[in-house]
Structure formats: structure tokens, C-alpha cells
Structure 1
Amino acid sequence: MIQIDDKLYDRVHFDNAALRLAGEVGLTTGTRYAVCFPETADWLAFFFAIRAAGASVMPIHPATPYPAARRLAETAGCHRLFYHSLAAEQLNDAPPVKGEGELLQMSSGTTGAPKCVARTWSSIDREIDTYVATFREPSDMTPVVACPTTHSYGLICGLLVALKRGQVPVVVNTANPKFVLKALRGVERPLLYSSPAILHTLARLLPSGESLHAVMTSGTLLPSAWFGEIRAKTRHMFQQYGCSEAGCIAINPDVSAPEDMGYVLPHHRLQAGSNAETADEIIIHTPSAPIHTRDLGYVRPDGMLVFISRLDDTINVSGLNVYPKDVEDVVMAKPGVSDAVAFRLADRFAGERVGLLFSADRQISAEEIRAWCTGNLASHQVPMEVIQVGTVPRQANGKISRREIAGLHAEGRLAPEPVA
């Protein structure tokens, strides 16, 4: 059974829906379907039907406009697109794809152009089996999925893992954090799967003396200031690390520092540095080919995978590496600052310099920010250019694309915004 907002759907509902859809639509093995439905229950019925048919599916977030949805479907090589309707649009006449059905996803594009990633249903089953066997702390908790089920985090780790455990997951709309908080209060021992941005908002909304039972964070490294606020308002805090190509790679069952990603799941073979000084790219070795994550990290002697930075986000100032999180944590420790992102600026003398975009609850001058940084950072880490905005732009999954922000800056589209 699955609860979606306030309505409960049993297995019979989805089984009947799958049979009806298979008959009406004519689902066939080897066909790639792109699906963009506004209602979660309709999307999930389609998902279960496509998987049962041994076909492949690309989930598309329901808020995606039609032209963008069509481009995604075509990029993934989908044969048919279902956009808010059972009337399918034929995209190509290519023959069915041989082999096992797959879950098709677009990578986030934080380090380059998004690309289609295909994972077989058997590889996903293996991930779920290992996830459930290894991560046992939530066995008596109720998963509350407050993130898109069109994304692998909400779909696989939130929904399918819960069903594998025999639990009844609760899927809630994330548009209104107060609604999420209300839903959590109506669930016994809830485990909230959500984005760092939503978790931070909920922590700030909670009245004094009230706490969240358990939360799972994933997708991006929590700023230290956010981590402190969330951890103080949470009894159990979990964190997982993964990538589109490999799924969940590591899980931390008791988070005490935001950079501690977790212990590597046993079905993965991982390569990284052995300590902070020898930190290296995190590489996942698979039978077919190694997966280069472009993340810099190392594995402690106790087995904990520690994240340092995205390799593509590292800023090289006159040969000295600057990790954006080090700058962001210092800036966000300044009273009044609510969010910050450090990004790369080209510099003809140093090669690269640090740029900073931040938001705050009051107007703060660039000089004040730089003075704060000068007292807390090395000279090469201090931002050369500082811009205050109303809201730091984040992607739908809560991630920051420093590449996109740097591009906006280069185009002159990052203008200072006064605080209302």
C-alpha cells in the first residue's frame, strides 16, 4: 500500500491500473516510454505497469513544460511520450531495444551537459536488496517521501525500499513546507526523505521543544550552518551518497558531520584517497566500466567515506586549491547570512579567483563580507567579487550548479538585489 497525501492506495489498485494501462496503451517489451503526469498516483500506476511489461521508462517531473519534456524524451531515445494524457505521442520508429528494461534518468548537469543514464531493473533490485539488508535503522519507522518520485532518490530509496520492507510509504506534496510538517505530525515515527533545502526550512519552522523523529539527506553537501540547525532539531539523522549511474553508494546511519557521507554498501567496490592529504577522485568499479564521480574524497580507517569537494568546483588561485564549501561555511557563519555559494571567476593574474553569491535577512555590503572572510580565511580564499541576491538559485533537487551560476555571472545576469 502507498499513501499519497491523505489517500491510501492498496496493491489491488495499482495491479488493476497496470492491467488497464497495459491493455489500453499496448505496453511492449523493449519500448522506451517517457511519462509526465501531473498526479503522483497516475504516474506510479504507469511506472508499475511499464516495469511489469519489461519495458523502459523515463520519469519526467510533472512541472516540466511540454517542449522541455519532449526534448528530454528525445535525448533519452524514447519511442513514445505520455504528456499529461494516455494519448501517446510517437517520437521515433526505431526498433525495440534488446535486453532488459531500464529506468532512464537524466544526470543533473551540475558539471556539464546532462546525459541519459540507463539502469536495468535487476541492478535496481540489487541496490534495494543491499540497501534494506545494510541500512536497518529505519525498520520500525514510516518513510515519508517529500521529494519527487520521478527522481531516483524518492522513487527507489524512498518508495521502493519501503515497499521491500513491507512498510506503507507516505508521499507528500513538497510545495508547502507547512503541509509537510503537518503530515509528519500525523505519522508515527516518521523518516523524512527530502532535500537539504526542505529539511533546513522545516528545522526553522519547528517551534521550540519540538523535533523531527528522523530525516534522510542526500543530493548535495549540507552547509555547516544548515547542518547544525537540522541536527539540533532531529533525533535521528541519516545521510546517503550516490550518483545517477550507480544509485546509492554509501549510507551514514548517524550523521555527526556533513562531510561524512557514510559506509559504502557491500555490493560496490570503491576507490578514493586514504586520508585528507591523499584525497582523490571517488571511483566506483563495476563489471562493465569504472564510474568516475568527479567527487574528491577519501575513506577513513573506520570505513567512513568523506567528501571534500566536486573536482569541477575546485577553484585554483595561483596554484592553490580553494574548496567552495570552506568559503561558504565561513560566510554563512556571519549573522544574518542565510545562504551562500562560492564559484569560479576567471582572473588574468591568478588564473582563477573566488566569486560569491549570498542571501541575507538584511542588506550587507560586499566590503563587510570581505572583511569577515579576511578574518576567517586565507587570502587566496577571500572572494574577489561579492553579490547579494534575494534567493540563491538552486535546482529542483536542492543542488547548486556552480557552473550555471558562473555562466550567469559571465553573461552579466547576476545583479545585486536589495533586501525588501
Structure 2
Amino acid sequence: MPNLTMEMSELDECKRQIRERILRPAEFRGFEEQRKNLLDLIRRAVRDGDSNSALLIGPAGSGKTTLVRSVLQEISKEKGFDKKALVVNLNGLIHTDDRLSLKSMSKQLKLENVIDEQVTGNFAENMALLLSTLNKADHEKALVFILEEVDLFCNHHNQSLLYNLFDLAHRNESSVFVLGVTVRLDVMDRMEKRVRSRFSYRSIYLLPANNAKNFESRVALCQEWLLSDPSKLDRTFCREWNKCVAALLAQNETGYNCIKRLYDMQNSEDSTKELLLHTISRLHEGNPTLSGQDFEKALDDVIADGWLQILDGLSVLELCLVIAMKHLGDVYQGDPVNFEMVYSRYLKFAKSHSGFEDCTRNTVIKAFEHLQALELILPAAGQGAKTQSQYQLYHFQLTPQQVKDAVKRYEELPTEVQQWAEISLV
């Protein structure tokens, strides 16, 4: 590697520029067909009064929120949009019951005076009151509802919010578009039958493919972020720095391989950004040259920081499922697995240890769903929308060594579970 011998002021300025580029709000990339589909649905509601509903489904980091933001930014620039539409944003993590949802809706619609501090009556009555008041003031405006973490709204009493919003879009009496955003492929199964009957069954999937073309695009993006700008820094410094970056990110070099390892586990852009931020944070007066060792140590930090904290909080049953997936990974060499495969492997263990036999299938399903919510498993690309939930394929996100480390750290873990984790099947 070339040795950078410039003053620290040059290095500090270079790091500042790189951080600024990396931390810049994400731009939407790829999924052009899905973006066009969503843009068309919102336009039809705003321009033509064509009410509808849809789900936007994809793993964390796949670009769901960025896609929605990108579409709304584009359509908001169109002439007269602000006079034709109102956008309401709700989040299942924040609006945990219908009362909070109503208050937020009324505030965003600037109708706080309609809904008192203490919401009375049922959701449908209050919703009707809001809409009737809105129609009198803005009778031509379309309503666009964005429901982030829509699966969590399924936990509300009687799923009233979902039913009433989908019903509004279903009746087509006023211009309404409802978009639910979620990581859960089984979100439809969590909806009550009456809610599903009002839904349009339109789903837009963002399932990133782990193919070579996408990965090479990610490496090119990393190089774009890491290169220094000769118009703002010393030319000699920039030439040496950029030569160093190009060498580290060349195919099969250390930087390239570290990005590939992280991409295979979590192919989100955010995780790649975190890796690069950790890498450049290791540079200082005593270590002014970007090196392969910086990438390797940064990768260890990124992987260890997040996963070990999550694994420490698992139940014994959930940790057993993690161990079962580790064994399946050994057997199938990292191919995706489904619930039935994991359950079968767990049952084989449980039947030989009486302390685990009392866990019902439904209990194991709930534990598996929690692992999905924690994103220890992510849905594999290319699955049909009609695939039954127990046969949906998932990629396990942990390495065998991470599972072993978690087992060693787990306090008061039954001895048989510790021994099971140590077994090698290959």
C-alpha cells in the first residue's frame, strides 16, 4: 500500500468529506418497476380519484421507506399536488392504539379541534367525523395514508384502524390510498378476515437479489464514497489516497472481501455505510494509511456490536432455534431454510431431552416469528406471494462462531443446550 505522509489536516478533512458523503440521506436505487407501480397508484388516487390500498413488503434496509419518500417527493413537485392531496403518516411503533392514531391523524390534517383531548365513541365514528369535517373544508382533496410497521396495527383492538382505512379505500366514495409498509411476508395472515375482505390484495415486494451484478454496484458505490476530492485537497494526497482505495477494493482484495462478507449477511446499504464509517474512524496520526486490517477490524466491530446484544436477550427456546439453524447451515452450506426445517431439527433435540418436550408447535412458531422480527433471519429473494408462511425461505444472518459466542455468554443455559451447540454435523 502507498504510504500517506501528508499533514493530519489533510487526513482530517478527507475523513470529514467521506463522512459527509456516507451520512447524506440515501438515494433510491434499483426496483424501478416497483417504484413505477407505487407512483402510478398514488397518481391515480390524486388525479383520478381512484381509491386503492397496497402493501410494500421487504426486509429491513431494502429501501422501503426510501422508495416511499422518493415517490412522494416526485409527485409533490407536480403542479397542484398540494391542492389535490393530503399525506398522513402513521407508525405502528409509535401509534400503539387507535386513540394515539386518531390524535396524530387529526393533527396532520389540521383538525385538532374536531377530536377532543379525550377521544370518545368508537374509531369508526371518530373517523367519520374527521372525514366529514375535512370534506367540508377540502372536499376535492385525496387522502394518502402511509402506515409504517403496518403489521403492528394488527395488534390494535379489533384491528379497527386497518378495517376502517381499508374500508374507505374499498368503498371508493372519496379519494383514498392506503399503503402499509412492513418487513413481514406473513402480514396478511395476521389480519382479521373482515380486514382482508376490504383490502385490495395488491402487494409490492422489495426482495433484494444477492447476485454478482448488485454486489459489484455496491462496491462501486463504496469507492465513490471513499475517494477524496482533488479540488478541495492536496493533489498529491488525493492521488495516493485514491490509489490506496482502488487497491483495497479491487476484486478479492481485503476491503472487497470484507464488504462481500457483510453483504452476504446483511445486504442493506445502511450496514455497508456503518462498515465504512468504522473503517475510517480507525485512522489517526499513528495510522494515517487506510489498510486491509482497518477493514477487517471494522467488520468485526460491526458484526459483534449488534448481534451479541440481540442474542443476549433471547429466551432459551429462541436460542435453541438459533442453534438449529446453525446446524442446518452446516448441512446445507448456507442455503436458505424454512420454519418446518428448523422445527424438525428442534424436535429431534427436544424429544431426547424431557425439559423441552412441553413446548407446543404454536409456542415455537411465536419464537421463530420473534427471530424474524429481530432480523436474525431475512426472507430469501424470488419467493411467490402465495407461499405458505411455514415454507417461506429465510437466510440465517449469524456465523457459527457468533452462535457459539452467544452460547458461552448466556447465563444459566442448560448443559444439554450448550453441548448441542458444540456438536459439528460436518
Is this a same-fold pair by TM over 0.5? Answer: no
TM-score, normalisation: structure 1:
0.32
More helix per residue:
2
More strand per residue:
1
Larger RCO (CA under 8 A, 6+ residues apart): 2
Q: Which has the larger radius of gyration?
A: 2
